[in-house]
Amino acid sequence: MLRLQPELLQKIEAAKEPKDLFGIMQGAIELEHSTIPPYLTAMFSLKPGKNREIWGIIHSVVLEEMLHMTIASNILIALGGDPNFIHKDFIPNYPSPLPMNISAKDPDDKDENYLTVSLGGFSKKQLHHVFMSIEQPESPIHYQVKEGPPKGLLSSAESGIEEPEYATIGAFYNAIKKKLLDLDLDLLPGADRPQVIPDKYYPSDDCFHIRTVDDAIKAIDIIVEQGEGTSEGTEDGSPLDPDGELAHYYRFAELYYGRRLVKDPDAPGKYSYSGPVFPFEVDGLWNLNADTKAGQLPEGSAQRRQADQFNYVYRKLLLTLHQAFNGEPEKFDATIGLMYDIKLVGEKLVSMPYPGKVGLNCGPPFEYVNLNK
C-alpha cells in the first residue's frame, strides 16, 4: 500500500496558478518513470523463449507506464512547463522510495518501516510487495482464489492483500484534477506548444494533444483507471479499465495467484481467480543479484563493460525523450530503436554470472551516467 506525504497534497492544494504545479507534474513524470526499471528488470530475468505469458503481462504494463509518462509530460507542457528527463536524480538510486517520497508499506514489517522499490528478478515477493503495492487502488477488490496456484515459483499459500491505510497514487492524481478545476481556465497556457503524440503506438483515445482542463482531466483518468481499475458504473467497482482491459493491479494479481481473473457469476464481485493457470517454467528464470551497480563489477570484466553499456544506452534514451518533449517531438521515433537496444543489452547482461557470487547473475543497473565522458 502506498503512503503519500501530507505535504505533497498540501502543496497541490496551495497552488494558485499553473506554474505552481510545474514541480508536481515533474514529480508525476518521475513517478511514472520510476516504475519502469523494476518492471523491466523482472522481464529481463525471464529467459528468452521461456515464460512468455508472464513476460507478455509485464510488457503490457510497461507499455502503459510509458504512455502514462507521456501523458504527464504533455500535461506539464500544456501548463507551460518543461519536462526534464536528464537531471542526475531523474533515475532513482535503487533500492529507493518512489519519487516525492511516496513509499509502499511492507505488509510483513511490524516495525512500520516502509518498503523501498528494488530492482529484482521476477518472484512472488516482488509481485506482492513491490508491483501490487505500487498499483494498489484506493479500495482493491479481493476476488476469490478458487484453486491454489500452480506448483513452482507461485506455489506457496499466502493471505490476500491488506486493505490500504494510506492514500494511493490515484489520490495524488485526483488532487491534481481538483486543483485544475479550481484554477478555472478555459485554455491552458501552453496549449499550443509541441507535445508528443505517438499515434503509431497508442490509440488516439488514450494519447491526444492536451489543450484544456477537460483534456487534462480525461488524460489523468486514463492513468488512474489503467493502473487501478474503475469504480464508476458498478456497485463494487470493476477490475477493468475503460478499454475493457484488466487494470495493472489485477494483471499482477493474476501472476501472483497463478490464475487468470475471469467472470464468475457465482463469486462475490462476479469475478474470481479461477481461469487458466499461468504456466511457469522453473528453469526459465535467471536468478539476479538485486540492485546491481556497475561499479560493483570488476574493472575490465565483460560484466562491467556490459553494465556500463546498459547505463549508456538507457541514459541516451532519456536524453532523446528529453529532446522530444522539449520542442522536437519528431525525435520520439528514435526512442523505439533505443528501447530495442536496451532490451538486447539487458538480456545479454542478465545471462552473465555475477563475479564472486555463485548462482547469481548480473541485474540491469539503471544508473545515471554522463554522456560526455
Could you give the count of Cα atoms lying within 13 Å of 31 in the half-sphere of its Cβ?
26
* pTM, entire model: 0.90
Q: What is the pLDDT of residues 202-214, one digit of tens each?
A: 988 899 999 999 9
Average pLDDT over every residue of 108-136: 80
Per-chain mean pLDDT for the chain: 87
pLDDT number for residue 228: 66
d(CA 137, CA 117): 18
pLDDT-derived band at 158, boundaries 50, 70, 90:
very low
Of 77, 131, 140, 89, which Cα lies nearest the Cα of 256? 131
Question: What sections of the chain are H helices per DSSP?
Answer: 6-14, 22-34, 36-44, 52-79, 124-125, 132-135, 169-183, 213-228, 248-257, 302-324, 332-350
Q: Where are the domains of the chain?
A: 2-284, 287-373
Average pLDDT over every residue of 3-30: 90
pLDDT-derived band at 230, boundaries 50, 70, 90:
low
Q: What is the pLDDT of residues 75-91, one digit of tens each?
A: 999 999 999 999 999 99
Give the Cα-Cα-Cα angle 195, 178, 36 (nearest 5 degrees). 50
d(CA 26, CA 32): 10
Q: Please name every residue paired with 115 in a beta bridge, in sequence order, or none if there are none.
A: 104
Average pLDDT over every residue of 266-278: 90
The secondary structure element, H or E, covering residue 263 is strand 259-263
Whether the predicted pLDDT of 338 surpasses 70: yes
Whether the predicted pLDDT of 177 surpasses 60: yes
Residue percentage of the chain with pLDDT more than 90: 66
Whether the predicted pLDDT of 105 surpasses 60: no
Whether the predicted pLDDT of 324 surpasses 70: yes
Whether the predicted pLDDT of 63 surpasses 60: yes
The secondary structure element, H or E, covering residue 277 is strand 271-277
d(CA 22, CA 10): 15
Is 118 or 104 the better-scoring residue by pLDDT? 118
- At 76 the three-state DSSP class reads helix
d(CA 15, CA 73): 19
d(CA 33, CA 366): 12
Is 9 or 285 the better-scoring residue by pLDDT? 285
Classify domain 2-284 at the CATH topology level. Answer: Ferritin (1.20.1260)
